Amino acid sequence: MDRTSLQQLLQSHHREAYIWARQCCGFDSDLAKDILQLTYLKILEGKAKLSDPSKAKTWLFSVIRFTAVDELRKTGKTLPLDEDYELVDIPEEVDYTDYDAIIKLLPSMQQQVILMVFYHQMTIEQSAEVLQIQLGTARTHYARGKKKLKELILKSQTEANHGK
Amino acid sequence: MENDELIESFFEDMRTKDQNLEIPAFPKSKTRSINWLIPVGIAASLFLAGFLFYEKEPEMKAPAEVIIITLEQGPNQEQQFKITESTYLDTWESGTSSLLTEF
């Protein structure tokens, strides 16, 4: 794929790419901008190559995620790649309208699988490709993430109804 | 399915909120113009170097005038030189042609 086609491809996915970059770095908008710049550089300099144009979005999301992991590591904010610790406790108060905060209450891998499937309309198979994990593992993250998110949503809705 | 509806509704609301997100402008590629300038710069440098180091060979110009020196016999049978100037040479005689004709 030549440079012009790559630029057109990136431009067509720009909005979604930025939102995904932001989601990969804990909803930090400034860091997301840096990650996106680095991702575009990697791609346009040929350090990340698209082998199958039909999987452009999956590939772009994968490059963004790994760039985010590298940047978070550099800044000292580590992001577990394949671990899925169930250490996140549901807080006493959950604000339903603070969507970012609710998502952040999920373990990292569950967050990303759930975001890719429900927010970015991707399949579990595609999310497994982006995260470079087995499909079975992605399905487990998906099921656990969905269960935990449902609990959080219900809790926040109950609190909103009771006017807490 | 009920679970999915609840979650889908949550993400629908999240997407609506994200409509207000400030999306950075797509960066303009600068490297393309640099790539284009590199060969142009090299070509311009080579042209300039060639122009500066090229020495013109001196042109051989024909003299504006031709001096014709002839040896003629004067009225008192003496030999005398006759020098004439002309812009062209319509006849030319070898200096040793007399050796061919006088023997």
Residue A101: Cβ-neighbour burial (10 angstroms; 0-12, 13-18, 19+)? middle
Of A79, A87, A86, the closest CA to residue A21 belongs to: A79
Low pLDDT (below 50) residues in chain B: 1
Identify the residue with better confidence: A20 or B92. A20
A26: left (phi over 0), alpha (psi -120 to 50) or beta: left
Average pLDDT, chain A: 87
Write the CB contacts of A81 (distance below 8 Å, at least 6 apart in sequence).
Answer: A69
Distance CA A86, CA B9 (A): 25
B84 vs A109, residue with greater confidence:
A109
Residue B73 makes CB contacts below 8 A (sequence gap 6+) with B79, B80
Cβ-defined contact of B10 to A99 (cutoff 8 Å): yes
Three-state DSSP at A102 gives: helix
Do the chains contact at B27 and A37, CB–CB below 8 Å?
Answer: yes
Residues of chain A with CATH 1.10.1740: 1-79
For the ranges A96-105, A123-132, A147-156, the one whose mean pLDDT is highest:
A123-132
pLDDT value at residue A78: 65
Select from 1.10.10.10, 3.90.550.10, 1.10.357.10, 3.10.129.10 the CATH code of A82-164: 1.10.10.10
Query: Where does chain A hold its CATH 1.10.10.10 domain(s)?
Result: 82-164
- Predicted confidence at residue A76, as pLDDT, reads 73
The pLDDT assigned to A74 comes to: 85
Within 30-69 of A, beta carbons closer than 8 Å to B belong to: 33, 36-37, 40, 44
The pLDDT score that the predictor gives to residue B67 is: 79
CATH code given to domain A1-79: 1.10.1740
- pLDDT > 90: percent of chain A: 65
* Chain A residues within an 8 Å CB radius of B29: 3, 7, 44
